[in-house]
Structure 1
Amino acid sequence: MLLPLPLRVGCSLLAWLALYAWFCHRFKHRSYEWSCRLVTLTHGILATCLSAYIGFIDGPWPLSHPGSPNTTLQVLGLCLSLGYFLFDLCCICRFARRKSMKKYHAWRSQRSEELHLKTNGHLKKH
């Protein structure tokens, strides 16, 4: 018996997270974003190979049988990609939030330095 679709997507997400954790552990001298990009590369290679196998070897040929029911392998490819999409969404939110906070703190510190140096467009006297 096959697992329900949301459970298969959840397992795929856990697999991508486990691969990310392994990359982070294996390459400690690299950044977390680098490990995330390695997972992206792995997904790209896996998705391309799996799609090529489904389209050209396993079938059915999508141009001659459009709209036919999905095969088990096609559903597997969908679950792998959807789990990766959720993983990538988490990474984007994490890294974008971190970068925006760094920019905000840099802007705040620069602004506070400018306030100490200038008053009405003139340098303050110390």
Structure 2
Amino acid sequence: MFTRVCNYSRYVMSQVNRETRKFMHKYDVTLDVCISLVLSQSKVICPQSQEENESIDVCKDDKVTNYLNWRDVQEKLHAKLVGVRKWDVCSNNILDYDMLNLEVPTLLVVGSLIKFGVKVLIYNGNQDFVIPLTGSRP
């Protein structure tokens, strides 16, 4: 039904990403996500609902981002935000990925780099959705 010209999977992927990104930790899909203050306060009232993996601070990225955006911290680190209004863990303004190339396998590119003596480190896995395993598989 679908051809190279009409590939519905990209549309579906963008819809799934839009719907789920608030509810999954992008670096470990098995972790909880940073929850709102209201939900975290409810755990004080009902502590028996806490799980084992709550020893991991899933709000760490938010806390670090806020801290690194303090003017005095940036001055101490001699950090200058040039062309960026706010520091962020991952910025689409800096990392300008072409989403049309998301499904293109990287094996040929990596193979040619190795052939020319360039050392490479390949990341992939099935526990996150930041570094997909699909691009490094035949």
- Structure number with larger C-alpha Rg: 1
Identify whether the pair has TM-score above 0.5, normalized to the shorter chain. Answer: no
The structure with the largest helix share of the pair is 1
Category of TM-score, reference length = shorter chain: under 0.3
Superposition TM-score, scaled by structure 2 size: 0.25
